[in-house]
Structure 1
Amino acid sequence: MRNFKKDGHHKGKDHDSHHRGPKTFRRGRAIAFLEMMNVKRSTIKEQLDKPEFQSINQILVGELKAIDMLINEFIQLFEIQENEAADKKSEEKETSNEKGMEMNETN
């Protein structure tokens, strides 16, 4: 059976009590995307130093410049501060730790 709050909105069993609204959710997804772009950037940077990628070095340099440009534009577009990305990482770590504790409790 569904649980409804007084205002008529559905409140399921997985409802987060720290609900912050759709704008914050979208911002969180934007920050997660930025983190993914930074991982890709790191991978390309590592490949530049490896001898097996020497034949495509110029391509990797071009990709690195392009991803740097995208990251910078993304940061400006969404007005993301460096501390926001760090905060998002620590939130995700706390959430995964809490889920891990819940899993241990049920085992």
Structure 2
Amino acid sequence: MREGKFKEHGNEGHHRGGHHRSHERSEHRGAKTFRRGKALAFLEMMNVKRATIMQQLDKPEFESINQILVGELKAIDLLINEFTQLFEIHESEANELATVNIEEAGSSS
């Protein structure tokens, strides 16, 4: 008798939406569930870090850590590529964001 009650309770939990919720989550993956503005801001931050490392590669005072900087640059490039694919960010969106940020920086000076 006890075993029957447990089975019934297990079925009841299933009917309360346990399966439906997991199915619903799988349909809403990707950029739609994340604030696109935050994703673009993070991408811009990664691009600023990339630009900083590129500048450091050209400076003689960073020559001793050149290999480390090259490794960091490769890692950041990989992250940027994966991030843009994951959040389906197109190059035009990233360029538009960079243009807006440059204009805002120029007007605040």
Aligned partner of 1:54 among 63, 66, 69? 63
Q: TM-score, normalised by structure 1?
A: 0.59
Identity over aligned pairs, percent: 73
| Matched residue type, 1:79 | E
Q: Where does structure 1 lack aligned partners over 5 or more consecutive residues?
A: 1-22, 101-107
Task: Write the distance in 1 (CA, Å) between the matches of 2:61 and 2:102.
Answer: 35
Q: Is residue 41–residue 64 contact of structure 1 (8 Å, CA) maintained in 2? A: yes
Q: Give the Cα separation in 2 of the matches to 1:37 and 1:54.
A: 23
Which of these residues, 86, 96, 103, is aligned with residue 77 of structure 1?
86
**What is the RMSD computed on CA atoms of the aligned residues?**
2.6
What is the distance in 1 between the residues matched to 2:99 and 2:65? 36
Output the TM-score relative to the length of structure 2. Answer: 0.58
Shift of 1:85: 2.1
Distance in 2 (CA, whole Å) between partners of 1:80 and 1:50 is 32
Opposite residue 75 of structure 1, the aligned amino acid is T
Q: Which runs of 5+ in 2 are unaligned?
A: 1-31
Aligned residues: 74
- Rounded to whole Å, the distance in 1 between the matches of 2:63 and 2:101 is 36
- Name whichever structure is richer in helix by fraction: 2
Provide Cα deviations, 1:12-33, integer angstroms capped at 9, x if missing partner: xxxxxxxxxxx59711110111
Does 1 or 2 have the higher relative contact order (CA < 8 Å, sep 6+)? Answer: 2
Q: Indicate the structure (1 or 2) with the bigger Cα radius of gyration.
A: 2
CA distance in 1, matches of 2:102, 2:53: 25
- Asked whether the equivalents of residues 28 and 88 of structure 1 are also in contact (C-alpha less than 8 Å), the reply is no
- For 1:24 and 1:49, the matched residues in 2 are separated by 40
